Amino acid sequence: EDEQIVAEIMRRRFFPAVITHKPWEGFHFAGHEIRITEATDCYGAVVWPSALVLCYFLETNSKQYNLVDKNVIEIGAGTGLVSIVASLLGALVTATDLPELLGNLQHNVLQNTKLKCKHQPCVKELSWGIDLEKNFPRSSCQFDYIMAADVVYHHPFLDELLLTFDHLCKNDTIILWAMKFRLDKENQFVDRFQTMFDLEVISDFPSLNITLYKAMRKGRMKV
């Protein structure tokens, strides 16, 4: 079953028929053809399999996780694929990443959502752990969903990432987080994450070494 679903997910990806001056990949989600411009010199400018897993889940579980008119923030949005799919599914999306990635992120979001979505998504800088209250004040930022794909890997900002999850998450916020396990650091982060949030595995793909989690604040997980 794992291999069949993974094959279906990977069939959503297509490539240009001819080589172009700008590298891009194409995807079929939410009834649309999505073209993502990439760069090979930066982790955040490439579409990773965890993003495809999360997009597939959002599309195929759109009744249980109805995003229409929901306030969604994606952290570590990278190329913007997850934010684009969430927007096409009706969400009001804020796509965030580091300042050096915002140009490509804005380009991808705009070209794939303009005149196609109920709510035009916005792109905003978010450096994990930095100026969180200034840029995302708790009093006015109320997110129904936090989405994250492949934000835990070999980088030195795991403390800041956990702080960011904590700041953005209200009592009723649902976190949907797709994660590829590579090193012990991933397991250690999950252990630390669970001291603050209830964590539930909602999909698991051993062949990709990717797990999709749902999380909420401790004691708030809905049965």
pLDDT for 223: 44
Position 223 in a domain: no
What's the domain range around 16? 1-217
Closest C-alpha to 149, from 59, 67, 44, 69: 44
pLDDT for 173: 97
Helical packing angle, 81-88 and 102-113, nearest 10°: 30
Which residue positions in the chain have pLDDT lower than 50?
223
Position 222 in a domain: no
Residue 59 vs residues 55, 90, 187: alpha-carbon distances, Å: 6, 11, 28
Q: DSSP string spanning 8-45?
A: HHHTTEE--SS--SS-EEEEEETTEEEEEE--TT-GGG
pLDDT for 161: 95
pLDDT for 154: 66
CATH of the domain at 176: 3.40.50.150
Domains contained in the chain, number: 1
User: Beta strand pairing status for 210-217 and 122-125?
Assistant: unpaired
For the record, the structure tokens of 136 come out as 């995302």
pLDDT tens digit string along 123-161?
999 999 999 999 999 999 999 999 999 998 767 789 999
